[in-house]
Amino acid sequence: MSALNTFDLKPLSVKMKVPTLTFCFFVAVQGQAQAIQLDNGAQRTIGPNTAATDWQLSDGSTLTMNSARATGIDLSASTLNMNRGSQSGAVRASGRSTVNINDSHVTSSDPVLGAVRLENSKAFITNSTVTNSAGMGLQAVSNAGAASLAQIASSSISGASGGALAASGSELHFTQNSVVQGTGAAAFGLALVGATATANQSAIIGNGHGVLFTRGRSDTTDGKLVLDQSVVEGRTGSALSVRGTPGQVPVVSIDVLNGSTLKGGNGNLLSVSGGATATMNVDNSRNLVGNVVGDATSTVHLNLQNNAELKGQLQGVDTVKVGSNSNLFITGDSQARSLTMDRGTVTLGAPGEFYRLKLDSLSGEGRFVGSVNFDEGKASFIDVANQASGNHTLALSASGSELVKTQVVHTGGGDAVFSLEGGPVDMGAYAYNLKQEGNDWFLDTQTRVVSRSARVVTALFNTPVTIMTAEEGSLRARMGELRYSPNSTGLWIRGFGSKYDVSQSSGTGYSQSLQGFSIGADMPLADTQWKVGVFGGNSNSDVNPARGAAGTVKSYFLGTYATWVDEESGFYFDAVAKANRFQNQAKATLSDNTSTKGGYNNVGGGISAEFGRHIKLGDSSFIEPYGRLSTIVVQGGTYSLKNGLQVDGERTRSRTAEAGATVGHEFQLDDGTLIKPYLRAAMVHEFSDNNKVTVNNQTFNNDLSGSRAKYGAGLAVSFTQDLQAHVDVETSTSDKIKQKAAVNVGLRYAF
């Protein structure tokens, strides 16, 4: 601060109406007996062969240096041109002077005055270095109310006490990868004393604060800083520090634009104290990690907009506005007087962190992201002391296993509406809705529903029954063909598909689609009415129990079958034995948009027996009444999902009885092709009603018991005595399960 106080007016200089440092320049000039003086519009050009000395320019004079050297240059109402390869000691410009420094170097060791100092003057510094080993690199101040201007491009400005300073309405503009740096232990990078600075694709670095804002006693202008694709770093202090003192209270505006970054070694991006006022606007910049802090006497405004993000704590902040596609990421308990949400997001810590945001008021429309631990009753918490208004969503990630009634929002009143993003919060076996009680919002056990992950894992334990039934359905059609050609040996292949809708009344609602194929071979047993065969195949099922949850089952099966037919009476008997291996995978997107998955393998087996009679109705028609019994047993399993969901399924069982009839007619075409269309109707009853699955110690029961009506139609075509084709369509319905469609098609070659 001593360097800044240098620019306060002292009693002597007030009487003389001349700034203190200008007076010092005058005294210094009188003592420079060896300095070369240019005045009255004189012009001089010097080169590398000119001896280095001090220069004094006044009254419209011009000094041009071409690869020349000078030990120091003072100019008043004059022009200095330093061209490529030139070097000079300190440069002091006043009285509307102009300094042009191109591809040159200015060095100084003055602890008080900048290596380049401007009073009511302009400087244009390009591809150059300005260095002060004891004081500031660049100073731009006013004189008699007239400010200074410096434009710095592709240059380096450094000083031991500070990189650069602008005061009293002066302006500094850094562009094209310029660097301004304070190199001393606690040096600032840039100081603005009621002045303006811009940085475009440049860096401002201080070993203390990055940018320091203050105000002089006679300043009438506010401070302003605009950063565009630039970096500000305070290595041991704040990136931006705004400090007021009694009678010298700065009001500053800070724009952080287009990917600019702020870094504070003390953890603060912006610190405001001493009654100062600071407004920071962050636009399209996301690499901002640090706190925004104001003391009790100061005023702080923070605005995030256009894809902006800031990660840090808020303390003593007056107003916060979070705009569209922007995110305020809270890294600790925070406080602000007013928060306005304009379709932006406030994130209350990383998953598993439980921070409190204290507000006096809340308005607008926005999104809050937080965490809940049900075991401990901990939650990210929005605490609004006074009025809250607008529509807001909560995106909550959950941990724990048992729900304790957990509060997530409190307001002092108002018409604010809070809702859960993505529906109820998933936690283990259940998901929990938001419940309002007066001015408080809770996650409560009374509003729970089955979670997405629980739905998919319970559905997977139910699907083997429908899978094995669909796979066997294609074989049953093949066995019907055998009754029409009992004495032939054959090879066959079939493709099949099926779609099911299982209602919530079964315990777990889901939809299932299945596709697969089977191949087999059969032959008659010599001197008997029996035919035996073997078969195998594969099917793939997609299971969709809820939005955001899905499962897959890959099934591989082998089996054997036998059929007996008495041609005279028409009685027949079919038997099937089948074994399956299942590969099950479950995945779910939870309410907080995280995902989980898991899987297991198991096996199953089934047997069935059918007895019926083929009755001819004339030469070409028939009716075939039948009865059928079947049983299926599928191995249980224990596994877990990545989110910690524990699943323990008991054995799944199915016991069904079916009674029905098939009617058909045979047509023979002129070319000898036989066409056999048929219709089928049946009633099926499922007896098993107790297939339990335990999810995080919560038990669910898959119950498909009850009766359902089944209808089907098919067509068998014999192209030749050796080649036949078949298509079969079936549907069934009950209050618990609906088979929307089952289709199988196949070919058989006899020899």
- % of the chain beyond a pLDDT of 90: 71
> What confidence score (pLDDT) does residue 181 get?
98
Cβ pair 109, 90 in contact under 8 A: no
Q: 159 in a domain, yes or no?
A: no
What does the pLDDT average to over 574-601? 91
- For residues 380-395, b (16+ Cβ closer than 10 Å) or e, as one string? bbbbbeeebbbebbbb
Examine residue 706 and state whether it is found in any structural domain, yes or no.
Answer: yes
Question: Average pLDDT, whole number, for the chain?
Answer: 90
User: Tokens in use for 80?
Assistant: 């200095």
Q: What is the pLDDT of residue 193?
A: 96
The answer on pLDDT for 203 being more than 70 is yes
3-state class (DSSP) for residue 424: coil
Closest CA to 241 of 184, 162, 344: 162
Counting Cβ atoms within 10 Å, is residue 569 exposed (0-12), middle (13-18) or buried (19+)? exposed
Q: Tell me: the pLDDT tens digits for 378-401?
A: 899 999 999 999 999 999 887 766
Report the pLDDT value the prediction gives residue 645, as an integer from 0 to 100.
Answer: 85
Instruction: Give the residue with greater pLDDT, 547 vs 600.
Output: 600
Q: Give the integer Cα–Cα distance in Å for 320 and 254.
A: 14
Tokens of 614: 């083929």
Name the band, by pLDDT with cuts 50, 70 and 90, for residue 439.
very high
Answer whether residue 13 shows pLDDT above 70: no
pLDDT of residue 33: 44
**Angstrom distance (rounded) from CA 629 to CA 652:** 17
Rg (CA), the chain: 43
**Which of 594, 550, 584, 372 shows the shortest CA–CA distance to 452?**
550
Where does the pLDDT of residue 592 fall: very low under 50, low under 70, confident under 90, or very high at 90 and above?
confident
30 CB burial (10 A radius; 0-12, 13-18, 19+): exposed
Question: Are the beta carbons of 359 and 378 closer than 8 angstroms?
Answer: no
Please give the Cα distance from 267 to 274 (Å, whole number): 19
Predicted pLDDT of residue 89: 98
- Distance, CA of 259 to CA of 262 (rounded, Å): 10
What pLDDT score does 172 carry? 99
Instruction: Supply the DSSP string of 251-273, one letter for each residue.
Output: EEEEEEETT-EEEETTSEEEEEE
Using pLDDT thresholds of 50, 70 and 90, give the confidence band for residue 405: confident
Q: Average pLDDT in the 555-569 region?
A: 93
719 occurs within a structural domain: yes
pLDDT tens by residue, 315-350: 999 999 999 999 999 999 999 999 999 999 999 999
Interval 206-250: pLDDT, tens: 999 999 999 988 787 889 999 999 999 999 999 999 999 988 999
CA-CA distances (angstroms) from residue 746 to 5, 11, 712, 726? 97, 109, 16, 5
Answer whether residue 590 shows pLDDT above 90. no
Does residue 317 form part of some domain? no
Residue 206 lies in a domain: no
Whole-model pTM: value is 0.77
Q: In terms of DSSP H, where are the helices of 444-588?
A: 452-482
Q: Tell me the mean pLDDT in the region 354-376.
A: 93
Task: Report the pLDDT averaged over residues 143-166.
Answer: 96
23 SS3 class? helix
What is the tens place of the pLDDT at every residue in 705-719? 899 999 999 998 988
Q: Classify residue 307 as exposed, middle or buried by CB count within 10 Å of its CB (0-12, 13-18, 19+).
A: middle
Q: Which residues sit opposite 711 in a β-bridge?
A: 681, 731
Buried-state track 722-744, b at ≥16 Cβ within 10 A, e below 16: eebebebebbbebebbbbeebbb
Poorest-pLDDT segment among 388-397, 466-475, 513-522, 660-669: 466-475
pLDDT for the residue numbered 22? 41
Provide the number of structural domains found in the chain: 1
Q: What Å distances lie between residue 239 and 156, 176, 287, CA to CA? A: 19, 21, 13
Q: What is the pLDDT of residue 733?
A: 92
Q: Of 401, 323, 326, which Cα lies nearest the Cα of 364?
A: 323
User: Exposed/middle/buried for 463, CB within 10 Å: 0-12, 13-18, 19+?
Assistant: buried
83-92, 454-463, 604-613, range with the lowest pLDDT: 454-463
Q: What is the pLDDT at residue 505?
A: 67
Which pLDDT does position 486 carry in this prediction?
A: 58
Q: Is 306 contained in some domain?
A: no
CA distances (Å), origin 43, targets 40, 53, 59, 86? 9, 17, 11, 17
* Span 67-78, average pLDDT: 98
Given a cut of 70, is residue 704 above it in pLDDT? Answer: yes
Could you tell me the pLDDT band of residue 376, with boundaries at 50, 70 and 90?
Answer: confident
Residue 173 within any structural domain of the chain: no
CATH number for the domain harbouring residue 499: 2.40.128.130
Is residue 99 a part of any domain in this protein? no
For the chain, what percent of residues have pLDDT higher than 70?
A: 93
Q: What is the pLDDT of residues 471-495, one digit of tens each?
A: 988 777 656 666 656 577 889 999 9
Judged by DSSP in three states, 631 sits in strand
Residue of higher predicted confidence among 82 and 527: 82
Helix (H, G, I), strand (E, B) or coil at 28: helix
Residue 298: both structure tokens together: 């100061």
CA distances to 54, 373, 551, 667, 721 from 674, rounded to whole Å, are 118, 70, 43, 6, 10
Query: What is the pLDDT, as a whole number, of residue 122?
Result: 98
pLDDT higher than threshold 50 for residue 25? no
Structural domain boundaries enclosing 622: 451-750
In single-letter form, the type of residue at position 301 comes to H
Mean per-residue pLDDT, 699-728: 89
